[in-house]
Structure formats: C-alpha cells, structure tokens
Amino acid sequence: MQDKIETIDWQIVTDRINRRGYAIIPGFLSENQCRKMVDQYDNPKGYRKTVVMERYRFGLGEYKYFDYPLPELVQAIRENIYPKLAPIANLWMKVLKIDKIFPKTLQELKALCHSNDQLKPTPLILKYGVGGFNTLHQDMYGDVYFPLQTVLFLNEPDKDYTGGEFVITQQTPRAQSKVIVLRPKKGDMLIFTTNFKPVKGTKGYYRVNMKHGVSELHSGKRYTLGVIFHDAVS
C-alpha cells in the first residue's frame, strides 16, 4: 500500500484539494481489496460500534466503526495518507490565521487526540440499500479534529447500485450554498474537507464551511470505507 501511495502525483492532488476542497484518486483500491472490505462487513469481529442511521435521524442505512487494531489495509491507508495531507492542513491554518499546527505523523496526531480523551478509532464502513441516504454532516468527534478525510468506494455505480451520489455543499458567507455532486467509481478514493476550506477573496483568504452526505439510492447496495484520521471521544 505504501508503494501505491508513493506513485500518486501528490502535487496535482494538493492543487485540486486547495482549489476545490476535494480530489478523486481513481483506481486506488483493487477489485480484490474492494471485495474483501465488503465481505468484512458481516464479520461480527473487529468492530467497536454499529450505528443504525434511521434511529438517530442521520439518514437511512447502517455503518460500523472498526476497533483497534484496525484492519491492515485501513491502518496502512490511514498511516501513509496522513503525512501527505498534513502540509495542506497546515497551509490552510496559516492562510486563515488559525493558531494551530498539525503534527507530521499519524502517531503524533493520535497522541494529541488521546491527551484530549479522544481514544476511539473513527474509520468505518457504511452500507446503504434501496432508499438509503446520508444527511449532510461533518465528522468532528471531538475538540481535536483533522480538516481532511477520505472515503473509498467499494461498488460500481450504475452496475451495483443507482443513485447514491456523494454530495458536498459549500456555504459561502452572505451567499447561496453551492452543491457539488460526485460519482466516483469502484476502487476510487475521494479526499475531501472535514468541515471547511480557505477561499481567496479580494481582501485575503476567508473560510467557507462545507458538509457532505449521500443522495438516495434507487436500486442495489452501496458500500463505502471511510478513513478519518482523528480519534473520537465515543
């Protein structure tokens, strides 16, 4: 996995994230890796928590948080992607004049989370059926949060399911919200902002808040793997 990550042109990815607040890396996971993650879903072991989304008015579907130790693939993604994103996060803090510096390694970020009583792992796998959807939200989990996260798509749109687009909203101050609709393919990885991104205006940079969700599924089943870098309080 580390070799795969090193072959990515991170300058292009960085430029896209800085400009749009997201970037898609196509074909990041193999067919076999996608299948193994989907098959893992029904394994009763390895999870710390199951959430039925309808119960909390989060949407319609279900997701499970992995427990430590994380599956090897999830740990490798989390550990090796983070150092590529930390410089982007720190640039955002700098241009927005936020007094915060993120560490260079995932281990250091985890230590920061744990010192703030955020001890629970946040990577998760999500499952949607017909009618399933996810309301617009932000994945914060505590006072310590990293401003970028990833989601990996484990099924093929228009083959395994229809509908179920990934939706991002951008709330520009004193303006109408912008809606971004994405349809990544099986194996693609989407890196996107957790809660905001900087935008350059005539008087310098300003902050725009962003949320994400999933539109309603019309048919089939949709599985995704979410890799969030900070840990959670609960």
- 3-class SS string, 126-157: EEECCCCEEEEECCCCCCCCCCEEEEEECCCE
Q: How far apart are CA 153 and CA 170, in angstroms?
A: 22
Give the mean pLDDT of 29-48: 96
Q: What does the pLDDT look like over 173-220, one tens digit per residue? A: 788 899 999 999 999 999 999 999 999 999 899 999 999 999 999 999
Among the ranges given (61-65, 90-94, 173-177), the one the predictor scored with the smallest mean pLDDT = 173-177
Write the Ramachandran bin of 74: left for phi over 0, alpha for psi from -120 to 50, otherwise beta: alpha
Closest alpha carbon to 169 in 221, 215, 228, 217: 215
**pLDDT > 90? residue 10:** yes
Mean pLDDT of the chain: 97
Q: How far apart are CA 227 and CA 122, in angstroms?
A: 7
Q: Give the pLDDT of residue 172.
A: 81
CB neighbours of 134 closer than 8 A, spacing ≥ 6? 53, 58, 59, 61, 126, 128, 213, 214
Q: What does the pLDDT look like over 139-174, one tens digit per residue? A: 999 999 999 999 999 999 999 999 999 999 999 878
**pLDDT > 90? residue 1:** no
Give the mean pLDDT of 28-55: 96
Closest alpha carbon to 25 in 36, 17, 33: 17
Residues 84 and 10: beta-carbon distance below 8 Å: yes
Q: Give the pLDDT of residue 175.
A: 82
Q: Give the pLDDT of residue 173.
A: 78
Residue 55 carries which DSSP code?
G
Give the mean pLDDT of 107-112: 98
Residue that is written with structure tokens 């430029």 in the block: 15
Query: 16-39 burial, b if ≥16 CB within 10 A, otherwise e?
Result: ebbeebbbbbeebbeeebbeebbe
Q: Give the pLDDT of residue 141.
A: 97
